[in-house]
Structure 1
Amino acid sequence: MRFYLFVPLLMLLSACSAPPELESPSPTLPDAWQADTPADDPVPPWLTTLQDDTLAALVAEALVANPALAAARQQLRAAEQRVRLVGADRYPQLSLELGSRRQEESVRMDSLELSLGWTLDVWGKLAADQREAELNRAVAAAAHTEQREALAAQLAQNWFALQEARLLLELYRQRRDNLQQNLEIIESGYRQGLNEALDLYLARNNLHAEAARVAQQQQTLSELQRELERLLGRYPSATLTSSARLPLIETPVPAGQPSDLLSRRPDLQQQWLTLLATDAALAAAHRARFPTLRLNAAQGGSSDSLSDLLSSGNLAWSLGASLVQDLFDAGRKAALQEQALASRREQEQRWLEALFQSLTEVENALSARHSLTTRHALYLRAEENALNAERLAFEQYRNGLESYTTVLEAQRRALDAQTSVISLRRQLLDNRIKLHRALGGRFQADTPDQTEALDTP
């Protein structure tokens, strides 16, 4: 008899062994970025720095109507209800059962029972389950915040891409009209015997190519309009209007310190909270190997008459407790704990990967900012020189001092310089948005930080 009592006790104690020790990831970060940037000023809301009221109104519309963001809100609500479901297991469960059955000789028996059951969280398993659910809710909240920020950034980038497309369309149309005027001059000279037929054919080819570029740019513009309308939750009718404007913003973006990303960026918060959730899941899997203690209380009875069922003589009460421990499960719970341990270690590496990816994004955006600013200044000078060269080349051609191939080359260089200036303006705005996003800057000042009160790395 002592042997049979000793075996379950030994297995019970073996189940209560300590969980494995884990090392928390602690990467070493530098005190400053490689680029020379202001570090002490707070990162302002980037949407207001773009100086575009129409864009701000479109972002506000997208936050309400975008289907993907609405789906993320529902995921957050589902996670909140999951917290309620898991938390309910920590409270007593009260139930009332009223039944009726027939026995031999058609005798009907009615029964009534009020029962109360409560699983005591002796080992903290239910607390670990609730902790995991709360952290998963925080993960969903961080994911929702990140999706809001990503939607605003995508909308802003597409908006300025639309402005770039409109400016290019205006440029191409203007060049088409200028080439039409040049062609008329060349045709007049050809009829007078002053210009060669080759010059006439080259001028016509140039005009037709520019007209084709205008048609292609109109299609590009329509596609950008439809993409913006999709983000806004509108029908993609390509009717979204906008003014062709690309502001040049020279105010530097305060970068802060690399360690600031841990508290700024919602995607890093999401990865960190996921790591904490996997740690809570590991604790729950370990404590699931402990025995379960449950208290039960009930009062009820049965009678062949429903009217007699509620009389005190037919009701009886009972009170009991149970302690349950699996003696053999073929290693199922041990495997679940090892699985949770592997998930925890996997999430450690995913968090580190996300951290170093975010650092790379900031460094790339900072270096790209300097490169784009330098190139924009140089191309402004190149544009001025190219336009002067284009005018001079055509004047000298009309005076018989240059060939028409020189005019074509000057026109090509002028077009390249003009399109490069427009493209660099848009790239500077795009880089500004990317840098704000990489630094964890929010698009508006009143964006709630839904993970502020939770554990941070």
Structure 2
Amino acid sequence: MKKLTPLVLAMSLAGCMSLAPKYERPQAPVAQAFPELPKPANAPAAQLANEAPVNLAWQRFFPDARLRGLIEQSLSNNRDLRVAIANIEQARSQFRIQRADRLPSVGFGISGQRQTTGEDQPIESLYQSGLSVSAFELDLFGRVKNLSDAALAQYLATEEARKATQISLVASVANAYLQLLADEELLRITQQTLETRQESLRLTQLRFDNGVSSRFELQQARSLVETALATLAATQRQRAQDVNLLTLLVGGPVGDSPAGATLAQTELPDLPAGLPSDLLANRPDIRSAEQQLIAANANIGAARANFFPRITLTGSVGSASTELSGLFKSGSYGWTFAPQAVLPIFDYGRNSAVLGSARAQRDIAVAQYERSIQQAFREVADALAGQSTFSEQLRAQRAVAEAEADRFNLADLRYKNGAASYLDLLDAQRSLFQAQQQAVQANLQRLQNQVTLYRVLGGGWSEPAQPVAAR
């Protein structure tokens, strides 16, 4: 064992210091808390008290069983998520490669060498076999360690990016499903309006045939019917396109909506407001940006180490002989130890440029990290503003629709009794149809805003029951 002392001692010196700057998380360039708007006391909502979105699994946030099934299907089939998982495997492998460079690679080999130093000199031979270490770098200044740390941070950033992809996917599926429910509700309203207008056209045609109504009223009735038909075609097209979008997100057929599932009956829980802004640190996209910053910081240490000597070791231990036949005979033990140190002298500014590039990349990573926090803060603030106002907007819009429905019934009654003109009836029909459509859109915006708030606060992340990578 004493004969191994030089090699073992040299390898034990690896990783003695690091030239990377001390990492400090930048201060978040946002306020300490999110702005909070007063919420109407009569706004209906289910509450999830004392539970932050980041700890709330999507299985609990979405009560609709069919929606939960679609989300589970998307987590198994979605190609974007598969790409994100494959990126993790690639980053993990790259990290393992960098980590392996911190330890010597030991192999078994047999080599032979024959040489002569002159025409009249005898040929010298040397044959060796045994364990060998080739060009192992002594990491005295932390270059290899910092490269390994940077690869680890890149791997962790990729893992966080995969979580962000899953959160985005869950929200996208939920929003597409809510949009599909809205399409079906708009279809029902449009079909009912079309039937009403077709009946009005039939009665107007009878009145015209009997000389009671004018051609002007008849054409107005036909115009309303054709307008409803155009709206119906556009709504059917929009529903088909939204089905296609949901199919793309889910990665397979989505089937028909279950009987009784309507947008009007769908409720999502309100999320607590007045939360501190440091909750943003739990968002995977912000954690990914921070890992990118950590990797850039470690790369500065690796770039600084390029200014110092790079020491590599090549050695072997085993059997050695001047004759091939005596290579494995008793007493043929031998070892070699060949260190090499290279100190850069003239590199024409290459190392300085590499260090400058690493510092610039660190500054870019800092700016990107701060920008991601600012963007996240704005997203949460916007969603909180929506949570405080969409419920009141929906209440008011439904009240408008109820008033317009009552006005239409009164206008229809007055027209049949000759107390109102046909123009009054047509105006009431148009206003009712518009108010009903706006009520559906207001409800859709309210529910989609709740999904957005859940997403931007970092909710929606949980491990799939069966990881895609295993399939």
Q: Tell me the TM-score normalised to structure 2 length.
A: 0.82
1:308-330 Cα shifts (integer Å, max 9, x gaps): 44335777432232222122111
Residues 447 and 233 (structure 1), Cα distance of their counterparts in 2 relative to 1, 3 Å cut: closer
- 1:90 lines up with 2:102 in the alignment: yes
- Determine the structure 2 residue equivalent to 1:363: 381
Say if 1:358 and 1:438, in contact at 8 Å, map to a contact too. yes
Deviates more, 1:289-298 or 1:150-159: 289-298
2:311 partner SS:
strand
Tell me if structure 1 keeps the 8 A contact 2:282–2:458: yes
What is the CA-CA distance between 1:338 and the residue it aligns to?
0.6
Aligned-partner Cα distance in 2 for 1:251–1:309 = 79
Residue 405 of structure 2 aligns with which residue? 387
Which residue, 430, 435, 451 being the options, matches 1:417? 435
Residue of structure 2 aligned with 1:58, choices 70, 73, 76: 70
Counterpart CA distance in 2 for 1:21 and 1:80 is 24
Q: Which moved more, 1:392-401 or 1:132-141?
A: 392-401
Measure, in 1, the Cα distance between the counterparts of 2:143 and 2:414. 89
Distance 1:368 1:312 in 2: 85
CA contact (8 A) 2:30 2:374 kept: no
> Structure 1 stretches of 5 or more lacking a match?
1-15, 449-457
The residue aligned with 2:208 is 190
For 1:26, the aligned partner's letter is Q
Letter in 2 for 1:366: L
Per-residue deviation, residues 237-271 of structure 1 (Å, max 9, x unmatched): x8554555124537431135333334321111111
Q: Which residue of 2 aligns with 1:245?
A: 262
Alignment of 1:3-402 (within 5 A): 25-27=26-28, 29-36=30-37, 41-43=51-53, 44-98=56-110, 112-114=128-130, 115-117=132-134, 118-234=136-252, 240-241=256-257, 244-246=261-263, 247-249=265-267, 251-255=269-273, 257-299=275-317, 301=320, 307-311=325-329, 316-402=334-420
Q: Which of structures 1 and 2 has the larger relative contact order (alpha carbons within 8 angstroms, sep 6+)?
A: 2
TM-score w.r.t. the length of structure 1 is 0.85
Query: Residues 82-139 of structure 1: CA distance to partner in whole angstroms, max 9, x if unpaired?
Result: 11101111111223344689999xx9x9955442243222112221111111111110
RMSD (Å) for aligned C-alpha atoms:
3.0
Q: Hey, what's the Cα distance between the residues in 1 that align with 2:74 and 2:268? A: 28
CA distance in 2, matches of 1:284, 1:405: 80
Runs of 4+ displaced beyond 6 Å: 16-23, 100-104
How much identity, in percent, do the aligned residues show? 26
Secondary structure of the structure 2 residue equivalent to 1:319: strand
Q: CA deviation at 1:383?
A: 0.5
Q: Which amino acid aligns with 1:65?
A: N
Question: 1:69, 1:129 → 2: CA distance?
Answer: 28
Q: CA deviation at 1:443?
A: 5.3
Alpha-carbon distance between aligned partners in 2 of 1:20 and 1:269, rounded to the nearest angstrom = 20
Secondary structure of the residue aligned to 1:225 is helix
Equivalent pairs, count = 426
Gaps of 5+ in 2: 1-16, 39-46, 117-122, 466-471
Name the SS of the counterpart of 1:412 in structure 2: helix
- State the secondary structure of the residue aligned to 1:321: strand
User: Quick check: 213-222 or 186-195, which moved more?
Assistant: 186-195
Alpha carbons 2:75, 2:166 under 8 Å: kept: yes
Q: What secondary structure is seen at the aligned counterpart in 2 of 1:416?
A: helix
For the Cα contact (< 8 Å) 2:283–2:458, is it kept in 1?
A: yes
Letter in 1 for 2:220: L
Q: Quick check: 2:19–2:301 contact (8 Å CA) kept in 1? A: no
How much has 1:166 moved relative to structure 2? 0.7
CA 1:17 to 1:254, structure 2 compared with 1: closer, same or farther past 3 Å?
closer
Using a 3 Å threshold, how does the CA distance of structure 1 residues 361 and 228 change in structure 2: closer, same or farther?
same
